[in-house]
Amino acid sequence: MSIFIASIALLIGIIALIWGADKFVVGSAGAARNLGISPMLIGLTIVSIGTSAPEIIVSINAALSNAGELAVGNALGSNIANIGLVLGATALVSPLPVNRHILREESPVLILVTGLAGLCLYDGFLNRLESIMLALLIVPLIILVIKYKNTTNASLTTDDEAIPRIKSLTAAKSFFLGLIFLLLGAEVTVWGAKEIAQFFGISELVIGLTVIALGTSLPELAASVVSALKGHHDIAVGNVFGSNLFNLMLVMTAAGAISPMQIDHSVFLRDYMSMAALTMTLVLFVFLAERNKRDNKNKAFISRSYGAIFLLGYISYYVILAVSLSSAQ
């Protein structure tokens, strides 16, 4: 009976995520048009923070329950899913235009934060000071976003022409209603998936790295795919970059700040290194897209072939995880 209830909850959660993502994208895109804010800026801030809320909630709960590895695994696993699954699937739906701003400013910040996160995890212990210092990087990131707004406030992107004009009140209602359904949907989805995983005897570590990481990344997947289908490409790309930054600076550090933790070294060697490899691949593809743009004098795109490579990397990670866990038994 419990497995039946968990399965129904999982289905309802996924439906809520899809419906909520649609409303959320409409509201945020409408707000961008009404307020004169670039969709990229909306994706890097409001959308990213809103859809990263499930990871933050899971991380805090895990830390309070003395399940630190689950919290760190959730942050790393979510970043792997964001690049490999979310960006890969979104690029397969529609090639994603790359803004030069991502190469010049977002990419270096993501590389820096990823490197610092590795230093925090390398010694097998995430302490409170490291967590707080990494979290404080959110301040220069906000300054960076404000700088971007000031330099692009004169006009909106071409994608904004496809955004319908809706009343501000309607946009606000759609935005908050979508956000509520995203958060509730993620919560129900993770609960159902966790119950199913436990029913089949999957370990807590595996749940954190797979079921919970995937479940809390579903809002990013739903919001980004719906954004691409609607032609709001800037929201899709900005959402992935922003969410990965928030996962490392807020999700992982929230657990370390609340309860300093000992971390198995395999988390660094297997999970962090996989995330770092996908992150560097993403930056490389952004660079190649910009270079091709200069050579061909066309718009820079994350192509469908790049998306397929991301998905292949995502699948490869789970193969490595499965082999690692089976050999440890």
Mean pLDDT over 185-198 rounds to 80
Residue 174's Cβ-count burial label (10 Å; 0-12, 13-18, 19+) is: buried
Residue 183 lies in a domain: no
Instruction: Give pLDDT tens digits for 16-44.
Output: 877 887 787 778 777 777 777 766 666 55
Residue 244 lies in a domain: yes
Q: Which residue has the higher pLDDT, 179 or 151?
A: 179
User: What is the band of 311 on the pLDDT scale with cuts at 50, 70, 90?
Assistant: very high
Residue 49 lies in a domain: yes
Q: Using alpha carbons only, how large is the chain's radius of gyration in Å?
A: 19
User: What is the band of 155 on the pLDDT scale with cuts at 50, 70, 90?
Assistant: very low
Q: Average the pLDDT over each of 58-62, 102-106, 187-191, 239-243 and give the range with the smallest value.
A: 102-106
pLDDT at residue 119 greater than cutoff 90: yes
- In this structure, what CATH number is given to the domain that contains residue 50? 1.20.1420.30
Question: In the chain, pLDDT over 90 holds for what percent of residues?
Answer: 18
CA distance 171 to 26: 7
pLDDT at residue 115 greater than cutoff 90: yes
Q: Dihedral of CA 175/180/185/191: which sign?
A: positive
Number of domains the chain is built from: 1
Residue 48 lies in a domain: yes
Question: In the chain, pLDDT over 70 holds for what percent of residues?
Answer: 79
What range defines the domain where residue 299 resides? 40-155+202-328
Residue 246 lies in a domain: yes
Residue 250 lies in a domain: yes
Mean pLDDT over 235-256 rounds to 81
Q: Which residue has the higher pLDDT, 90 or 102?
A: 90
Residue 17 lies in a domain: no
CA distance 80 to 237: 15
Residue 46 lies in a domain: yes
Q: What is the pLDDT of residue 158?
A: 42
Q: Dihedral of CA 179/182/184/187: which sign?
A: negative
Q: What is the pLDDT of residue 190?
A: 78
Q: Say which residue the tokens 């954190």 belong to.
A: 208
